[in-house]
Structure 1
């Protein structure tokens, strides 16, 4: 059963899309690691009226939080070696009830304990797209919100765990989003 969110969703993976269950027309699929981030530009430019905001949602690796926990993201940091400045994100009115987290965006799956600990010094969650989406939304003049659910521990076996739980855990996230913005 599909639902129509009141704000366009930006999601990375097909497993997350299927679990969340929104109308495909209201989803911009950017792919894991941002191979198609330019699709966000195309979506914003062809949509009339231009959306005032988009919501990046889906899974993230946790660095201490329990899988299945849902968070609103209020800051994203560059977890790569590029050294770009952190970006603050707005917290939408409808997500004020959620605990806040910082995401570190990296360009690969984190499954190394040493890297996990290094990232944990700057963030509580890790993903592969949010930082670049924030940069792109700033350039487009579109507000970016982000709500993530923890899928794995961003440690040894993270990818295998993600494959096993991404669609199911995204159903929990979809239920929250339908209640808040559906």
Structure 2
């Protein structure tokens, strides 16, 4: 992990997984580069905020695979879940919900009741749902399954939102579609990450204040 700048309560902390995604940032806000995967992301956020100073909000920006045909652009996520964590199965054994879906609101990431649907926006229209897991999704049965229950897939979003919820920090997840999460995903991501980074830099520069 690498923290560029100093966390303070008046400004957001921008969180990215990889330096490649942040290479075009021009911002006075602190930027936390976590490394890939849920464990690294959660540890990095916890370490960065371990001194007790809380940012105004956590804003996780990065790339994600699109799970629906023709999906592109930049999306602010409204709910996130772990696709590689068997929350319901473990609940049956332990009686605990240790990894439930998180809904993201203007206030903070929150844990919904297990019976709640993952997400609809206040107006009733569907809102982007993100599936996070420690696996790079590149086609196959996993992609087919995720496409039926989510819109986007990444490897860190849930961990950042969960850390924000645990620490009482408002959290936003902003994802730019870098690839279709199919068998071309690896090549497409490598070839397109710089262009994605420019889009993310523009979002940070124009949408955060």
TM-score by length of 1: 0.83
In the alignment, structure 1 segments of 5+ residues that lack a partner are 1-5, 93-98
1:42 to 1:81, Cα distance in 2 relative to 1, 3 A: closer
Aligned to 1:3: none
> Structure 1 residue 175 and structure 2 residue 202: aligned?
yes
Greater helix fraction, Structure 1 or Structure 2: 1
**What's the offset of the Cα at 1:85?**
1.9
**What's the offset of the Cα at 1:130?**
1.0
Moved over 3 A (4+): 19-23, 65-68
In the alignment, structure 2 segments of 5+ residues that lack a partner are 1-10, 88-98, 108-125
Q: Conserved in 1, the CA contact under 8 Å of 2:176 and 2:200? A: yes
Q: Secondary structure at the match of 1:103?
A: strand
**What's the offset of the Cα at 1:19?**
3.5
Q: Conserved in 2, the CA contact under 8 Å of 1:10 and 1:30? A: yes
Structure with higher Rg: it is 2
Q: Conserved in 2, the CA contact under 8 Å of 1:9 and 1:27? A: yes
Deviations 1:82-116 (A, max 9, x none): 22321101258xxxxxx941100011111123211
Aligned to 1:86: 101
Aligned to 1:17: 22
1:64 to 1:143, Cα distance in 2 relative to 1, 3 A: same
> Structure 1 residue 74 and structure 2 residue 101: aligned?
no
Matches within 5 A, 1:32-43: 32-37=36-41, 38-43=43-48
Deviations 1:12-50 (A, max 9, x none): 011101134445x711111111353312112223364x2
Q: Distance in 1 between matches of 2:16 and 2:196?
A: 14
Specify which of 163, 173, 176 is matched with residue 149 of structure 1: 176
Q: Distance in 1 between matches of 2:191 and 2:148?
A: 28
Which shows bigger deviation, 81-90 or 122-131?
Answer: 81-90
> Structure 1 residue 119 and structure 2 residue 146: aligned?
yes
Aligned to 1:55: 59
1:85 to 1:75, Cα distance in 2 relative to 1, 3 A: same
Q: Distance in 2 between matches of 1:153 and 1:91?
A: 29
Aligned to 2:50: 45
Q: Distance in 2 between matches of 1:32 and 1:21?
A: 22
**What's the offset of the Cα at 1:72?**
0.5
Aligned to 2:68: 64
TM-score by length of 2: 0.73
Q: Conserved in 2, the CA contact under 8 Å of 1:68 and 1:169? A: no
